Amino acid sequence: MLRAGFPPAVIGQTQSETYRKAIESGLGMDTTPLTQLMAAVVSESLDKLITH
């Protein structure tokens, strides 16, 4: 994905429970939690890339 120009989505250990719950929701056809989590972690990655 990085080669195609997409930013990294890094899910840290502190977010593992949120990720697990988001995956479970997605399996039940509710993709909103996973979409929101991915948006947040990509935003964090971009912030780190820009500020360093």
Confidence (pLDDT) at 16: 95
Question: If you write DSSP's letter for every residue of 1-52 in order, what string do you get?
Answer: -TTTTPPP----GGGHHHHHHHHHHHHTT--HHHHHHHHHHHHHHHHHHHH-
Confidence (pLDDT) at 31: 97
Contacts with 7 (C-beta within 8 Å, 6 or more apart), sequence order: 42, 45, 46, 49
The model's pTM: 0.83
What are the residue ranges spanned by the domains of the chain? 13-51
d(CA 32, CA 26): 8
| pLDDT 10s digits, 2-51 | 789 888 899 999 999 999 999 999 999 999 999 999 999 999 999 988 88
